[in-house]
Amino acid sequence: MVIIDGKKVANEIIQKIKQQTKELSSYDITPGLAVILVGDDTASRTYVNMKSERCKDVGIYSIVHEMPSSISQQKILDTINMMNQNENIDGILVQLPLPKHIDQNKILEAIKPSKDVDGFHPFNMGRLVANIDGFLPATPYGIMELFKRYDIELKGKNVCIVGASNIVGKPLASLMLNQFATVDICHIYTNDLKSHTLKADIVCVGAGVINLITEDMIKDETVVIDIGINKNKNGKLVGDVDFKNLSKKCSYITPVPGGVGPMTIAMLLKNTIKAAKINKGIK
């Protein structure tokens, strides 16, 4: 059994990004990332702070627009429009979730596709499905990079993705289909989840439920990618799978923390560098 070290891979990517920002500085270019943070959600704020720190580490200019949860939708749209026109901003992302009175789709669609470093704009989602180059959502992008780094074959494999969100599950399914895997997507209304996971060579879980996947739900030598981030009753960060027992059966497994999480920020920064090159006309 191999524990996939997402932290190590992410750090390798970060080092390459540092080199790229140095190269861009020779053109007098500093990549810029703008984040919109609405409300006081602790997890969102922590994640945004981590993004800002990483940007500083690699030489990316970063600004956070903090807004109260009572903000109007129009004011968010006005801010996005301002950033769309700002030549110093190459990437724009809106930290999700948003308050219920805000139309999330309308907000995401307002971001200029060439600055959509989160990869959630319908333009980039469409390119992903069609297997055309664009911006990929950071978490699925990171997972695909881990498969690549660990030489985990996808072609012809049976994959079960547990969780059908627009942020992770659906784009991840499309990326795996593009690699010729056979993909089974499960969600909260799926009957007999175990019957789906038992058939899979690769199980990816991002449902936000502690110990959702147990040892009896996978076959021997399964590859397990745990995308979940939860806190147990002791305040410890855990994923969606029973890591201790699954690790006895699987061939590869990602830990929580230290698996998929670090990859998400690394791939976001990689998208930001790509956006800077596109927006500044550098090949």
| Residues assigned a catalytic role | 51, 95, 118
Within the chain, how many helices (H) and strands (E) appear?
A: 10, 11
Give the tokens for residue 166. Answer: 């627009």
Give DSSP secondary structure letters for 87-147. Answer: TT--EEEEPSPPPTTS-HHHHHHHS-GGG-TT--SHHHHHHHHTT-SSPPPHHHHHHHHHH
Whether residue 271 contacts residue 236, with contact meaning beta carbons closer than 8 Å, is answered with no
User: What is the C-alpha separation between 31 and 19, in angstroms, rounded?
Assistant: 13
* Burial class of residue 141 in the structure, from the number of CB atoms within 10 Å of its CB (0-12 exposed, 13-18 middle, 19+ buried): buried
Half-sphere exposure of 139 (CA within 13 A, CB side): 21
User: What is the C-alpha separation between 37 and 45, in angstroms, rounded?
Assistant: 7
Give the tokens for residue 202. Answer: 């690769």
User: What is the C-alpha separation between 262 and 210, in angstroms, rounded?
Assistant: 20
**DSSP state at residue 218:** S
Rg of the chain on CA atoms, in Å: 19
